[in-house]
Structure 1
Amino acid sequence: MRLDKFLKVSRLIKRRTVANDACDGERIVVNGRQAKASYQVKVGDVIEIAFGQRTMKVEVLDVAEHVRKDDAATLYREIL
């Protein structure tokens, strides 16, 4: 699954276009490297998202095309 779509489905970022802009703005890092929106997300990838002054780091646990809102958090695990 594409990175921008994963960010939307997992509800880490609200809209796919915003996720795409974040990738273009180099605010998304996957496994220590800048990632494009077309990057294919795999289980075990570590994604870092820069939200202004705060950075969120998550590990991908599952990749699914469609997930209910209540189950979106099961796709990743936040790393402190």
Structure 2
Amino acid sequence: MRIDKYLKNARVIKRRTIAKEACEQGRVFVNGKSAKPGTEVSVGDEIEIVFGTKPMKIRVEKLTEHVMKDDAKEMYTII
């Protein structure tokens, strides 16, 4: 699954366009490497997102195309 779509489905970032822009600005890292919007993520990958001065680090637990709001938190764990 693409990183921009994953961040939107997991509700880490509200909209896919904002997730895409964050990737293009170099604010998203997958396993320590800068991620483009089309970077593929898989279960077990670690994603770091820099919001201002606060970095957020999460681990991918599940990949799902269509997610209900209540189930979105099961898709990742905050490290």
- Distance in 2 separating the partners of 1:56 and 1:66: 23
For residue 76 of structure 1, report the CA deviation from its aligned partner.
0.2
Aligned-residue CA RMSD in angstroms?
0.4
Q: CA offsets, 1:23-55, max 9 Å, x none?
A: 000000000000111011100000000000111
Q: How many corresponding residue pairs?
A: 79
Matched ranges for 1:1-80 at <5 A: 1-79=1-79
TM-score scaled by length of structure 2:
0.99
Offset of 1:6 from its aligned partner?
0.2
Unaligned stretches of 5+ residues in structure 1: none
Please give the alpha-carbon distance, in whole angstroms, between the structure 2 residues aligned to 1:55 and 1:40: 21
- Paired AA for residue 52 in structure 2: G
The separation in 1 between residues aligned to 2:71 and 2:62, in whole angstroms, is: 11
- SS of alignment partner, residue 4 of structure 1: helix
Percentage identity across aligned positions?
A: 53
Matched residue type, 1:69 = K
